Amino acid sequence: MNEPGHEQQSAPGKPGEVETTGHVWDGDLREYNNPLPRWWLWSFYATVVFSLIYWLLYPAWPIAGTYTKGVAWINYEVEGEPQRSHWNSRALLLRDMQTGDAAVRQREFLQVIAEADHDTVLSDTDMLAFVNSYARGIFGDFCAACHQTGGAGIIGLYPNLADDNWHWGGTIQAIEQTITRGRMGYMPPYRETFDDQQADAVAAYVLSLAGHEGGDPEQVSLGGAIFQGYEGGCYACHGREGLGLKSQGAPNLTNDIWQNIDVTGAQSHAERQALVRDLILRGVQREMPAFGDRLSPAEIRVLATYVHQLGGGL
């Protein structure tokens, strides 16, 4: 390989000819000199100037155990006391939460709703519109994975919130409690207690409570005795008339609305009876998680109002 040689740097003479750097390799290999376009060069200088200003304003250069904090400041409040910090995303968030337009408007609405009584909220169209749009968002984030997007739930797993049948109560207060503290729906399994005949009988009685004709009258009366007696003890939770007990989350068995088994979808009386019998034998244990630590009381109020409205009822 030849050592690179030198020539005079050449300026373009004729049009179409390009300036070279003057370096020559292998005798005739020359390097074009294409200067950067002006706009590019000046943009580059501008970014340099920009970074100088940036370093001045914002946290930038590390020095020993700390760093230059910059001269841009953010003002916010902690418990009413004004505070100042160098610019950073956490302080920025605090300021945004405290004085940002959207945050302030949202907080004002939430506060009004938290302080108003339930009937006022339900009859005020402005408040209701806010409740519905805000709650739809948080219902999607926190509840829909179980109760499904429209609140219809999944039979056997998560209760339907869009009807007016409530295990724990459908008033806004009761729903607030459900959300804040969570609920543990529990009915003991009767596998060890009942033999086949008894289980069939109780199932027949439960179906008769819900108005399903076609059960064997003998079974129904035997079932009734077990339901109301010491052996079954069902009345302790579901009540003498089978109307349920909200403090236990025990459902009303007379309204033919079923959360755990698809009785109304079954084709024959025998199929319905089998569904109820199996449920009694295996019992129920379902958990609704507590959201008191995750959502603020105002958010829970908004959610409870929204959920109450889905189906109404008490």
By CB under 6 A, name the binding residues for ligand HEC: 142-143, 145-147, 158-159, 161, 166-168, 175, 178-179, 183, 185-188, 190, 202, 206, 227, 232-234, 236-238, 248-251, 253, 258-261, 276, 279-280, 284, 286-289, 291, 303, 307
Residue, CB closest to ligand HEC: 185
Cβ of residue 203: shortest distance to ligand HEC, in angstroms? 7
DSSP at 246: G
Minimal distance, residue 180 CB to other proteins, in Å: 14
Contact present, 271 and 263 (Cβ < 8 Å): no
3-class secondary structure for 57-117? Answer: HCCCCEECCEECCCCCEEEEEECCEEEEEECCHHHHHHHHHHHCHHHHHHHHHHHHHHHCC
Q: 239: how many CB neighbours lie within 10 A of its CB? A: 16
The β-bridge partners of 158 are 154
Strand partners, 287: 184
Which residue lies nearer to other proteins by CB, 146 or 174? 146
> Is 35 or 137 the residue whose CB approaches other proteins more closely?
137
Please choose which of other proteins, ligand HEC, none residue 179 contacts, taking the beta carbon within 5 to 8 angstroms, the exact cut-off set by kind. Answer: ligand HEC
Cross-strand pairs, 77: 82
Partners of 23 in beta bridges: 6
Q: Identify what 91 binds: ligand HEC, other proteins, none; CB under 5 to 8 Å per kind.
A: other proteins
Shortest distance (Å) from residue 278 CB to other proteins? 18
- Residue 24's binding partner out of ligand HEC, other proteins, none, with CB under 5 to 8 Å set by partner kind: none
- Residue 231 corresponds to which amino acid? E
Identify whether the C-beta of residue 180 lies closer than 8 Å to the C-beta of residue 270: no
Report the distance separating Cα 87 and Cα 70, nearest Å. 8
Q: Which does 64 bind (CB under 5 to 8 A by kind): ligand HEC, other proteins, none?
A: other proteins
Crossing angle of the two packed helices 89-99 and 101-115, in degrees rounded to 10 = 50
- The region, left, alpha or beta by phi > 0 then psi within -120 to 50, assigned to residue 102 is alpha
In the complex, the residues that contact other proteins under the rule CB under 8 A are 4, 23, 59, 62, 64-67, 76, 78-79, 83, 85, 88-94, 96-97, 100, 102-103, 137-138, 141-142, 144-146, 148-149, 154, 157, 286-290, 293-294
Q: How far is the CB of 117 from other proteins (least distance, A)?
A: 26
Shortest Å distance, C-beta 93 to other proteins = 4
301 binds, among ligand HEC, other proteins, none (CB under 5 to 8 A by kind): none
**Which amino acid would we find at residue 210?**
A
List the single partner that 18 binds among other proteins, ligand HEC, none, CB under 5 to 8 Å by kind: none
